[in-house]
Chain A
């Protein structure tokens, strides 16, 4: 049988200003109809380049060597007309980030209909019916065809992308990070949908992601890419449970299984963690919220309770994970705790007293309670050196002492060593993980007592993720910092948090110790979150050990 997709010794080189960059080297892959192949790797591993090369969508600066056979036909040798005809009707792509992959000013129905109109000679009524049918297949009401992308939620947009990919009944679908940036519950729905489609239609699916646990539940075979090469490939379960390459092991460890005692308080980090000492559970409460409510008016004038009566304590020497889906009010709660948003009622207390409302009082409070944002690339001014970025806070707060000394100490605390080596660097000269460390150093330079981190590792690569989480744990143990980590990632909570607060529609539905909440959830919503986690299939392996 002719394989649906066959890559033979594929190599892609990008011409850049700094010389040639070999993004993909000697990649061989085969996919049979009805099969799902997972391609895993970090950003920069070349996995998206492989995806783009299948339909020859690479930029002009790319040189391709080797062959891509799509259903036995050499894609590289196709003429433009043949290639255009093959695009979408033979193979289609579910692109990464549905937010940007859809045209913002066209109705989604039109965008779904576009390839049908292009590749078939169906009439208007046929096309309409087909669009309705496709929307039905991805569980969207037909009326959504008239919606613009911004009127849909992230999960709905992703479904539109999938509907669009299926528009011309392709035999091959390439899904490039189709669930990244989606909530666990929505992610589970999208994965479920893709699985069903493969089963029912016998299409071939190439599933590209950085999250091995997602692949485990969807793919039969997995190929792991690292620096442009496939370093390991084989049966999905085997690759995950018994990785042969160290990079696979790092990827697998980065996404811990909730309930695995081996990863409790143990993010995948190269630096050793200090001993978990005897902890006094009665540490003083540093930051607390009492019956906190924040109401917004939406554009129709109706009141929306983003935070609806929240009581929360964060103690010294403790990390609390605030988990919940997007839209649950996590970020509003964090902003209110930081004094960036005025509560409608209720109060925030810091160190026993209410948070001041005066400008100077609030400034002093904000020095004590520091924020670390999700995306270090946008949190840092691209034109400021590391030194400038870290020194900015102390300057604003007019902290005395030697500025350089303070900056160096903060960088050392954030484990950028030797600090002197980083002082004059600009953000673009640093890796993602280093950038996040600089952001953390900027917070530490103010000697805070509380760190509030909003999805601190969501935009980082798997291998860096563990390192940053390890840093947070070490900071808590060494400096006795209190931490509030906002995340949708339950594995993160399992990795570093002492207690978990589960937020759902503005309310904390469950608060308690990590082991208790995540292993014996009492609220239905917590149960739903846990059930939606892709199971890596490591349970069996663990029991065998």
Chain B
């Protein structure tokens, strides 16, 4: 038997060429992410200039200030200069890692963010990981027995929780738990000694805010996984797997779920942005000392440098997550590597 002309075309991919195409792919994605980041910086700057309210009025509310002092303050903060000039200064500062100085606290914004970022990472990270695990598990189960009792009740519950405002759910949980869990802060006023005890203390405080976030967001992972798996359920390769004599749960675990996970993965990373923005309300309700609470407090100023800084950090993290998703997708899905 001879190989036909068409089959000769489908020779093994050349390793070296594969390498260059991988570099090109990564370079393209990183370039795209950088462009987005530039837009975020510009948008963040001009967007917060549109907030009504003069920061100077808030800063001097309790003290009688004469016009001369006011003008002096305005000059010191650089607010007397044209907006585009302020923007250039801001960008020049950012390039050197300087986020500016808070109007309200007179402290470098960079330091303030550094202090507040870890509580948020802890809260969002824990809630996201748990929500993804819970959501994917429920989604797989619901799809495999589509239309069954489990599917109908679980989908209903998830949707109900998804449509609930976060602050409302947070308050309900506070009331329902009757003070079993602390209602505010990340640590006790009087933290215990020892690392283990302190960790337990933080976990104790984390429970309610984390649960609130988790309950609201797990629905999206569940529904995406469910529909993605449903799409795969009719696939021919599953029939092949059954014909081979595989048990039902092996067919699901080995063949259906890995394929269904691919589109789900992108969405998990995309929705990370929504989770991050959702922390503003949760942190405000539970006085969790993270970036969300910082944003909430700064809005009253408005403390423009802090708002801009947090905005850039949050938006930047979403961009980085999407970049990660793109790169990871290439590793996980052999078909993306080919195109």
B-binding residues in A (CB < 8 A) = 55, 57, 84-89, 92-93, 95-97, 100-106, 114-115, 118-119, 139, 143, 147-148, 150-153, 155-156, 164, 183, 185-186, 189, 192-193, 299-300, 325-328, 504-505
Contact = CB atoms under 8 A, between A and B. Distances in A.
Contacts of A114: 241, 244, 246
Contacts of B20: 300
25 contacts: A57-B239, A57-B243, A85-B245, A93-B240, A95-B236, A95-B240, A95-B243, A101-B236, A101-B239, A103-B240, A104-B259, A104-B335, A106-B255, A114-B244, A118-B246, A148-B335, A150-B335, A151-B12, A151-B338, A153-B9, A164-B240, A183-B4, A186-B6, A186-B7, A327-B5
B245 A118 contact: yes
Contacts of B259: 103-105
Contacts of B114: none
Given A89-B245, A101-B240, A114-B241, 15 more contacts: A84-B245, A93-B243, A104-B335, A105-B262, A106-B255, A115-B245, A139-B1, A139-B3, A143-B12, A152-B10, A153-B10, A155-B6, A155-B7, A186-B4, A327-B5
B332 to A, nearest CB: 8
Given A95-B239, A327-B6, A87 B21 contact: no
A139 B245 CA distance: 26
B244 A153 contact: no
A89 B332 CA distance: 32
A103 B239 contact: no
B339 interface: yes
Nearest to A152: B10
Contacts, number: 117
B52 interface: no
Which of B5, B242, B332, B338 has its CB near the most chain A CB atoms (within 10 A)? B5
B245 A183 contact: no
B333 interface: yes
Contacts of A299: 17, 21, 339
A185 B334 contact: no
B5 A115 contact: no
A192 B3 CA distance: 13
Nearest to B8: A153
Given A101-B237, A105-B334, A185 B243 contact: no
A325 B10 contact: no
Contacts of A143: 12
B236 A300 contact: no
A327 B9 contact: yes
B50 interface: no
Contacts of B176: none
Contact of B5 (A55, A106, A151, A504): A504
B216 to A, nearest CB: 32
Contacts of B239: 57, 95, 101
Contacts of A92: 243-244
A505 B4 CA distance: 12
Name the 6 nearest CB pairs between A and B, nearest first. A87-B245, A100-B236, A148-B334, A300-B17, A153-B10, A115-B244
A186 B6 CA distance: 9
B235 interface: yes
Nearest to B250: A118
Nearest to A110: B254
A85 B2 CA distance: 36
A326 B6 contact: yes
Given A97-B236, A102-B240, A105-B262, A189 B5 contact: no
Contacts of A100: 235-237
A286 to B, nearest CB: 31
B62 interface: no
Contacts of B68: none
Contacts of B7: 153, 155-156, 186
A148 B4 CA distance: 20
B14 A153 contact: no
A150 B338 contact: yes
Contacts of A150: 334-335, 338
Contacts of B243: 55, 57, 87-88, 92-93, 95
Nearest to A100: B236
